[in-house]
Amino acid sequence: MTAIAYEQAPPLTVSQWLNARQDLSLESLRGSIVVLHAFQMLCPGCVSHGIPQAKAIHAAFPPDKVRVIGLHTVFEHHAAMGPVSLEAFVHEYRLGFPIAIDTPADNGPIPVTMQAYRLQGTPSLILIDRAGHIRLHHFGQLDDLRAGAAIGQLLAEQSG
Amino acid sequence: MTAIAYEQAPPLTVSQWLNARQDLSLESLRGSIVVLHAFQMLCPGCVSHGIPQAKAIHAAFPPDKVRVIGLHTVFEHHAAMGPVSLEAFVHEYRLGFPIAIDTPADNGPIPVTMQAYRLQGTPSLILIDRAGHIRLHHFGQLDDLRAGAAIGQLLAEQSG
Amino acid sequence: MTAIAYEQAPPLTVSQWLNARQDLSLESLRGSIVVLHAFQMLCPGCVSHGIPQAKAIHAAFPPDKVRVIGLHTVFEHHAAMGPVSLEAFVHEYRLGFPIAIDTPADNGPIPVTMQAYRLQGTPSLILIDRAGHIRLHHFGQLDDLRAGAAIGQLLAEQSG
Amino acid sequence: MTAIAYEQAPPLTVSQWLNARQDLSLESLRGSIVVLHAFQMLCPGCVSHGIPQAKAIHAAFPPDKVRVIGLHTVFEHHAAMGPVSLEAFVHEYRLGFPIAIDTPADNGPIPVTMQAYRLQGTPSLILIDRAGHIRLHHFGQLDDLRAGAAIGQLLAEQSG
């Protein structure tokens, strides 16, 4: 359908999953559109914008077609945002989608998956198509209209 | 691509155009996606939600691919929302897209195009695809995420 | 209680009242705090901010202590905002407080009361104390916290 | 001025102060109005409403007349909201007023000051007048208009 060579989405390197009955992988999600929402629980822009948007996406689309995954990419205040704090956050903010805790790296404060995706910060929104290619990679706030249009375009593509 | 028989969008029956160098018709817009936003200038839900959404759609998408048209469908308070009042409204609210004033009907308070589209009230959002078929017909507030997704799906379709 | 000489509020020169069983005057309201909200029905800042604030003030305080009066000060687009249009606006926006239509002036587009109060535009918020003095005179948006504090200060003053 | 016997505000029992050059006490603040904002860093209603309101109060009034104090009253998820996490929160949310960490109690999950004030939960807003009396005690969201009015009434009182 297109000759553009999209980048294959790197694997998620996860130290712990929340809200998931079993560990997930992008490979196991092939055939669905994956909305990867990278956040930190103490990032104000994530709490005011990114997380509500991820929850709205989770509510708006059929879960078998559009899979929302939260990716907790702690790159600052590591001691403040450990798994115990994140679990309380997920409970209080009623997050209903799976949350992947990005694995701390040996080479510095930026965790492994965040490095692999070359994220510039949080919040970041990544859209992965049914074939596992990165189709949108946005740092900061993206309005719902544009986020919706990007998802709608992927939904219209043949699963092939 | 699909066997569903979509309804052909009825023509716009317009008594006056604002913000348009010449009269427009849906036929002349074939090949573009048309976003038809039906409103009344004194409808609070239009002013708080529908019109800002129409402006956002107008700003977010390439104008040759997505054409936004306002349709002023006055079905109540007719004397309060005449063309002179509407022109001031369009100026004050900085509406930059063409506005069609729906033609009053002989058979009652509901104007001609509003009847043809069987609109239930304002605001209403209608999406027309490149071939002139109605693909979305929504009365009331539709959130930006779902509106964006609907537009994105039409954008992904082949124009052919 | 203070030696500051506050300006006496000029009378309201009104061509028509809406939402009032009888004509009102500031003199008849002595003993109450008067919140005068000057607006134009097609002024976007009035519709998005000033009018919701006036409605919230009307709902938050006892009506015998704080009287909210809308003042429709048309200084532009006169033909677009006549009484018939205003009545539909008041109905659609569910304004429950009395609305005074400012009297057109002989000397130009700015109506009589707007001139007497030297208003710079709309929305404007004017607070008049129990003795009929102007205590706040604000053009543009004033946040609810500061508006509330100004009203609270007048409420705490002895009526004597 | 009034015969109502207002309750004296109980002392703050604080395990640690943030954003304060020295420990504070209500007694040392006599002569100023004290706005006590009780919150938990992982309470969504605090983050979306209470804390922005406390910041707005801090910005709107002269700091010698109105002192804003945050009171971190952790009564659930204790391990998730320790001082290290709170410090990162205070930094990220740019809180500029002093924050008192309420002292954990021996008799259960509710900390000492929270018990003394009989708080029902977070967010809670407490207004203390210049003489150290509790004048407002509100659990949940209080709109800015009413919060401002309550502060304005205290500001208008003679410092006596």
| Verdict on whether the full-model pTM lies above 0.80 | yes
Sign for the CA dihedral angle at B105, B108, B111, B112 comes to negative
Predicted-assembly ipTM surpassing the 0.95 threshold: no
pLDDT computed for residue C4 by the predictor:
66
- Residue A99's nearest CA partner among A37, A47, A29, A56 is A37
- Residue B156's nearest CA partner among D24, A52, A116, A33 is A33
Run of H or E residues at C39? strand C33-39
Q: What are phi and psi of C50, to 5 degrees?
A: -65, -45
Number of H helices, E strands in chain A: 5, 6
- Whether the pLDDT of residue B137 is over 90: the answer is yes
- Whether the pLDDT of residue B97 is over 90: the answer is yes
- Residue A46's nearest CA partner among A102, A97, A89 is A89
Contacts of B46 in chain C (CB under 8 A): none
- d(CA C44, CA C110) in angstroms, rounded, equals 19
- d(CA C121, CA C114) in angstroms, rounded, equals 9
Burial environment of residue C160 by CB neighbours within 10 A (0 to 12, 13 to 18, 19 or more)? exposed
- pLDDT digit string (tens) for D67-104? 999 999 999 999 999 999 999 999 999 999 999 999 99
Sign for the CA dihedral angle at A12, A14, A20, A22 comes to positive
- d(CA C100, CA C65) in angstroms, rounded, equals 19
CB atoms under 10 Å from CB of B57, counted, come to: 24
Contacts of C148 in chain D (CB under 8 A): 144-152
Answer whether residue D78 is part of any domain.
yes
CB pairs under 8 A between A and B: 75
CA distance A23 to chain B (A): 29
Which pLDDT band holds residue D1 (cuts at 50, 70, 90)?
Answer: very low
Cβ pair A84:D80 closer than 8 A = yes
Structural domain span for residue D115: 39-103+111-127+135-156
CA distance D9 to chain A (A): 30
- pLDDT digit string (tens) for C122-152? 999 999 999 999 999 999 999 999 999 999 9
- Whether the pLDDT of residue D65 is over 60: the answer is yes
Cβ pair B79:C84 closer than 8 A = yes
Answer whether residue D10 is part of any domain.
no
Whether residue A123 is preceded by a cis peptide bond, meaning omega within 30 degrees of 0, is: yes
- d(CA A127, CA A151) in angstroms, rounded, equals 8
- d(CA B99, CA C80) in angstroms, rounded, equals 17
The two tokens of residue A153 are 């375009």
Sign for the CA dihedral angle at D73, D78, D81, D82 comes to positive
Partner chains of A (3+ C-beta pairs under 8 Å): B, D
What sections of C1-159 are H helices per DSSP?
44-45, 51-60, 83-92, 112-116, 144-156
The number of domains in chain D is 1
Answer whether residue C11 is part of any domain.
no
- The percent of residues in chain C predicted with pLDDT above 70, rounded, is 96
pLDDT computed for residue C80 by the predictor:
98
CB pairs under 8 A between C and D: 75
Q: For chain A, which residues score pLDDT lower than 50?
A: 1-2, 160
Partner chains of B (3+ C-beta pairs under 8 Å): A, C
Going by C-beta distance under 8 Å and a sequence separation of 6 or more, which residues neighbour residue D7? D133, D134
Q: How far is Cα of residue A90 from the mean position of the Cα atoms in its chain?
A: 15
Answer whether residue A3 is part of any domain.
no
- d(CA A63, CA A55) in angstroms, rounded, equals 12
Contacts with D, C 66-125, CB within 8 Å: none
Nearest by CB to A148, which of B152, B154, B157? B152
CA distance A40 to chain D (A): 11
The two tokens of residue D110 are 């509710």
Number of H helices, E strands in chain C: 5, 6
- d(CA C124, CA C37) in angstroms, rounded, equals 6
For residue C10, what is the DSSP state? P
Q: Does D60 contact chain C (CB < 8 Å)? A: yes
- pLDDT digit string (tens) for B58-77? 999 999 999 999 999 999 99
CA closest to B81 among chain C residues: C85
Q: List residues bridging with C117 in a β-sheet.
A: none
Answer whether residue D74 is part of any domain.
yes
pLDDT computed for residue C3 by the predictor:
55
- Whether the pLDDT of residue D43 is over 60: the answer is yes
pLDDT computed for residue C54 by the predictor:
98
The two tokens of residue A111 are 């965790």
pLDDT computed for residue A5 by the predictor:
76
pLDDT computed for residue D5 by the predictor:
77
Which pLDDT band holds residue B1 (cuts at 50, 70, 90)?
Answer: very low
pLDDT computed for residue C160 by the predictor:
43
Nearest by CB to B150, which of A143, A144, A152? A152
- Whether the pLDDT of residue B54 is over 90: the answer is yes
Q: List residues bridging with C125 in a β-sheet.
A: C37, C138
What sections of B13-111 are H helices per DSSP?
44-45, 51-60, 83-92
- Whether the pLDDT of residue B156 is over 90: the answer is yes
Spatial contact of D69 and D34, defined as CB atoms under 8 Å apart:
yes
Q: Residue B93 sits in a domain of what CATH number?
A: 3.40.30.10
For all residues of chain C together, what is the average pLDDT?
95
CA distance A28 to chain B (A): 25
Answer whether residue C69 is part of any domain.
yes
- d(CA B51, CA D19) in angstroms, rounded, equals 44
- d(CA C137, CA C151) in angstroms, rounded, equals 12
Strand pairing category for C14-18 and A134-139: unpaired
> Which residue is it, tokens 């080479």?
A107
Answer whether residue C79 is part of any domain.
yes
Answer whether residue A27 is part of any domain.
no
pLDDT computed for residue A160 by the predictor:
44
- pLDDT digit string (tens) for C71-117? 999 999 999 999 999 999 999 999 999 999 999 999 999 999 999 99
What percent of chain D is helix, strand and coil (3-state, nearest 5)? 30, 20, 45
pLDDT computed for residue C100 by the predictor:
98
The two tokens of residue B56 are 């956002």
Nearest by CB to A42, which of D48, D77, D89? D89
- Residue D5's nearest CA partner among D134, D119, D116 is D134
- Sheet architecture: strand order including C124-128: C14-18, C99-102, C66-72, C33-39, C124-128, C134-139
Angle in degrees, CA D109, A80, D17, rounded to 5: 60
